[in-house]
Amino acid sequence: MKAKTLLIRMLMIAVIAAVPLLAQTPTDVWTSFIGDSCTINGLPIPIGTEITAFDTIPNGVLCGRFVTTVVGQYGALDVYGDDAYSPSVDEGCVQGNHVIFKINGVVATKLGPEDDVWRGKGPFKKMNLALTDANSFSVAATAPPEGTDTAGVTVSYDVIVTNNGSGVDLIALTVTSKSGWVVTGNDASGQYYAAGAHKTLPVTVAIPAGTPLGTQDTLTVVAASRFDPTAKATKKIVTTVNTVTGVDDGTFHVPGMFTLNQNFPNPFNPETVISLSLDKPGDVTLSVYDILGRTVTTLYHGYLPTGQHQFRWNGTDGNGQGVASGVYFYRLSSDQISLTRKMALMK
């Protein structure tokens, strides 16, 4: 039974260790800590916070690690100790030593109410933690200030996000279009960044076909720490239409490729029909997006023959759940071009 319990614990640790940055050696002795009122800069720690535990001596070895799945809480954090099977290897805590706790790589304040001394196997010990350090989290972002392109195409921009703080950060990216054009790049869950790390993230905006020459749209890109709401960077990108490829008369037609018609009825409730025609066969995708550019559902993805086609949307997402009233966009795309139109669901 002992071996089975240890195996389960080791498998759990292996899964968690795949998330960010460190790894510890599970042994057959541990003390389990929990915390139910933990904070970063006065706010409950969010999901995805990394709690690590280190032995005080002799060399600060990593003894335990937990990635939170509940706001404000962690546990059970198994803090492992040395065992009798490898006496020459420092694998973890030593009986009677204090434990050093870190939140996202930064030493945390131990609030108790129980003590932090490692005692080997025993009942859970409650140790609430706090991190109050405005310098731990700092986010920077760079992006091109402007671009020009053709109506009816999707424009891509690279945004470089950097963690300038002293701890591991979970940085979320949100992108919005002032004109309501369909955008991609939103990542509400966030990505892990080590201190000093930077990543290049693509964001796109789909310029509706028929948009008048000279029309401008402003993309607002916000990179924000999920661990400290005050740590964020905002960038603006202005897109200008320099070529018009179609007229917004209810039908978008790309010669030699495909035609996308205005949905009917529009506004609609409970369903609407989207019709299109292909001048030649090929692989296409027809998807529905919300006002923030998030994919609601994909109505079709695959090969279509030449000719006319119709698809119905009943106002549900990819899981079959009804969506709220509001403005939505549908986009027909191939490997060469994409066309986007707007529709309204009114319940």
DSSP-based three-state secondary structure for 218: strand
Task: Look up residue 220 and give its amino acid.
Answer: T
First CA to last CA across the chain, in angstroms?
57
Distance CA 343, CA 347 (A): 13
Q: Which of 209, 157, 158, 221 is nearest to 181 (CA)?
A: 209
Give the H/E segment covering residue 296: strand 295-304
Does residue 245 surpass a pLDDT of 60? Answer: no
pLDDT of residue 87: 54
Residue 88: band (very low, low, confident or very high) from pLDDT cuts 50, 70, 90: low
pLDDT of residue 129: 95
CATH, domain 251-345, list 2.40.50.140, 1.10.150.130, 2.60.40.4070, 3.40.50.300:
2.60.40.4070
Range with lowest mean pLDDT among 88-102, 165-179, 310-324: 88-102
**What are the residue ranges of CATH 2.60.40.4070 in the chain?**
251-345
Task: Look up residue 345 and give its amino acid.
Answer: L
> Beta-carbon neighbour count of residue 206 at 10 Å?
22
Question: With pLDDT > 90 as the criterion, what percentage of the chain qualifies?
Answer: 24
Distance CA 74, CA 149 (A): 48
Does residue 86 surpass a pLDDT of 80? Answer: no
CATH number for region 2-131: 2.60.40
- What's the pTM value of the predicted model, to 2 decimals? 0.52
**What are the residue ranges of CATH 2.60.40.10 in the chain?**
139-243
| Residue 15 DSSP symbol | H
CATH level 3 topology of 139-243: Immunoglobulin-like (2.60.40)
pLDDT of residue 29: 79
Distance CA 104, CA 108 (A): 9
Pairing state between β 232-243 and 146-150: parallel
**For the segment 162-213, what is each residue's pLDDT rounded down to a tens digit?**
998 887 888 899 999 999 998 888 887 788 888 889 898 888 888 888 787 7
